[in-house]
Amino acid sequence: MLGIAGSRTPFLSRLQNRLRSERSTFIMAAVIIVLGFFLIWPVGVIFIMSFNMAPEMFIGERIWGLDNWRTGFNDGRIPEAIWNTFMVWGLQFFIAMPASIAIAWALARTKLPFSHSLEFFFWVAYVTPGGAVAWILLLDPDLGYINLVLRQLPFINGPVFDIFSVAGIVWTGLMGNGIALKVMLLTPAFRNMDSALEEAARVGGASNLRTMIKVTVPLMIAPIALVTALQLMRIFQSFETELLLGVPIGFFVYSTLIFEQVRLHEPPLYGQATVLASVTLVVLAFIIPIQRWILQRRRYTTIASGFKPGLVDLGRFKWPVVGAIGTLHALLTFVPVAALLLGSFMWRTGFFNVEGAFTLDNWRFVFGEEVFFIAIRTTLILSFTTALLSPVLFSMVGYILVRTRWRGRWLLDSIIWVSAAIPGMLTSLGLLMVFLGTPVISFLYATIWALLIVVILQGNTTGVNISKSAIVQVGFEMEEAARIAGAGWVSTYFRIWLRLLMPTLILLGTLNFTIAAGTTASIILLASRETMTMSLLTLEYAMNGWREAASVMNILVAIIILGTALVARRFGLRLGVRHDTQRSDARSAAPARQEASHANG
């Protein structure tokens, strides 16, 4: 009997391991298929459909050939749009990167008054929408507030600034996220740098400026390269600014040309749009290896066992630096918000001298529109659903990649990284073709479900990698203790991992809420009048010249985003692992120890 029992035990163990392996394989296959279908397959569909010459791309028999490619390149607008895309990105990057490095150095490496407050306002600038509309109100050549003020000067006859220009597009991009995002990413890295080499340079007679250029920046080449690599993936991401400022003057980048061909042209030029999208994919195929090469370059250690923090005293220059960064904040946030507030209460922006120049009619108009309530309902559904579901889903994927040995992890990780390079407009066009060309899921087109799929998945790369970085910081002991106690993976996740990861999940939820509330390019080809969002309605008002209504919408979106971010931050501080428990216990235990010592005495 003992021999039989002993022979069964290895057999049952092998059977359990086999079943566990098959279950993990099934789960991994399901995750890869679902993510691959919605993240990667739409790109393949775009390339395939670029060879479909049928007059009705989604109806009837398909005719294959190269006519779409010949027509697209004979038009000449495709190469021009690609060139314009690179030109705008390059101008913004080579202006913003040096400025961001200097600001991050000042905030993190110097004894700058109000440095933490100044850093916080870059986060405010990042989540505050409405940049394009605000700068139209300020720098319109005829009715812009700044141009109207400058015309009062005796030596100025015409407009000084024209926002509807390449320079205007570049400026608006810089005042949007061009500088704020880079400062947010670079400042923590500069703060974690050892000051020993900087002190050695200053002892050797180098000035603060020379030390920054010769020592600090070279040591920070790793995070600077990382930010550069991330920005390479944003070459094709811009849309709203170029649409509002470029299309009126016939200046197209890749995303606005696709939108013009699919939505503004009748009948839609799907064939040429797929050709432009395919050319963009070819360009991305060259950019991705460059990005990976940058990320794999030499690293410079800035924190070691002898880490020594230290700050530079700017002396008499500290207040001018504070004033310069404060002025930048005024341009990034306060001036645009003031312009939007003023525009929302004007009968017609720029007409200050007419009777009844200020009114509440714009607010009445917006709140009286039925589509406004559709937009706010859709936006809240998308934003809160994304904020709640995406952190959980991405943390589960991060757990699979970090904590398991399941087969296929490299493929799943590759899908996550490759999807980051796919611009929002390509995602929108690809999913449009997938939904309309696949009968089984065609019912999803123009529904809230299609938009939910897009907004939940569009932050997958950031969400998964932030989750991975948080998961690897947690040891195996608590997880193993839960398993020994009989808890399954689901119970372990919700009882242990969810609490440990809560601050990270709150951060991811807040970021994804902000992205979902303001997204346009990735959903603009999939939305209908019944699934209009606040960002799309704002864009529609601005395109139609209703700047006052667009101002109202931007203010409402800003209130929703900033309000939610502040509530989430306050809520997040109450959750997660408490670091003051021991201190509280020590304080409460101190009187008891004193009383016990008196009693023993």
Please write the tens of the pLDDT for every residue from 435-492.
888 888 888 888 999 999 999 888 887 788 777 777 776 666 666 776 676 666 667 7
pLDDT for position 295:
55
Secondary structure of residue 520 in the 3-state scheme: coil
**Local structure of 439: helix, strand or coil:** helix
> Of 148-152, 297-301, 342-346, 468-472, which gets the smallest average pLDDT?
297-301
pLDDT above 60: residue 592: no
Quote the pLDDT of residue 578.
46
- Count CA atoms within 13 Å of residue 6 on its CB side: 3
Q: How many other C-beta atoms are found inside a 10 Å radius of the C-beta of residue 597?
A: 9
More confidently predicted of 404 and 42? 42
Q: What is the pLDDT of residues 258-295, one digit of tens each?
A: 999 888 887 888 888 888 888 888 887 777 676 666 55
Q: Could you identify the residue written with the tokens 């020379």? A: 210
Q: Which pLDDT belongs to residue 355?
A: 81
Q: How distant, in Å, are the alpha carbons of 337, 342, 523, 549 from that of 347? A: 18, 10, 32, 10
pLDDT for 473: 65
3-state per-residue secondary structure call for 197-212: HHHHHHHCCCCHHHHH
Residue type, 149: V
| Lowest mean per-residue pLDDT among 100-104, 390-394, 430-434, 587-591 | 587-591
**pLDDT exceeding 70 applies to what percent of the chain?**
80
User: Which helix (H) or strand (E) covers residue 41, if one does?
Assistant: helix 41-49
State the Cα–Cα distance between residues 601 and 595, nearest whole angstrom. Answer: 10
**Poorest-confidence range of 183-197, 300-314, 420-434?**
300-314
Q: Whole-angstrom Cα distance, residue 596 to residue 371?
A: 71
Distance CA 104, CA 102 (A): 6
Residue of 559, 118, 181 whose CA lies nearest to 324? 118
pLDDT at residue 200 greater than cutoff 90: no
Among the listed ranges 303-307, 437-441, 508-512, 539-543, which one has the minimum average pLDDT value? 303-307
pLDDT band at 323 (very low <50, low <70, confident <90, very high): very high
Sign of CA dihedral 529, 534, 536, 538: positive
Burial label, 552 (beta-carbon count in 10 A; 0-12, 13-18, 19+)? buried
- Mean pLDDT over 175-196 rounds to 79
- pLDDT one-digit tens code per residue, 62-75: 888 888 888 887 87
Please give the full DSSP string across 225-253, using - where no structure is assigned: HHHHHHHHTTTTT--HHHHHHHGGGT---
What is d(CA 164, CA 175) in angstroms, rounded to the nearest whole number? 15
3-state DSSP helix/strand/coil percent for the chain, to nearest 5? 75, 0, 25
Find all residues with CB under 8 Å of 148, minimum gap 6, and list them: 350, 352
Residues 223-239 pLDDT 10s:
777 777 777 767 788 88
3-class SS of residue 312: strand
- Cα separations in angstroms, 473 against 460, 488, 496, 570: 20, 21, 14, 24
Tokens of residue 577, six digits: 């692992």
Q: Quote the DSSP letter at residue 530.
A: G
CA distance 473 to 354: 63
Rounded to whole angstroms, the Cα distance separating 39 from 298 reads 31
Cβ contacts of residue 57 below 8 Å, gap of 6+? 49, 270, 271, 433
- With 50 as the cut, is the pLDDT of residue 601 above it? no
Closest by CA to 399, choosing from 470, 329, 452, 460, is 470
Task: Inform me whether the pLDDT recorded for 536 exceeds 90.
Answer: yes
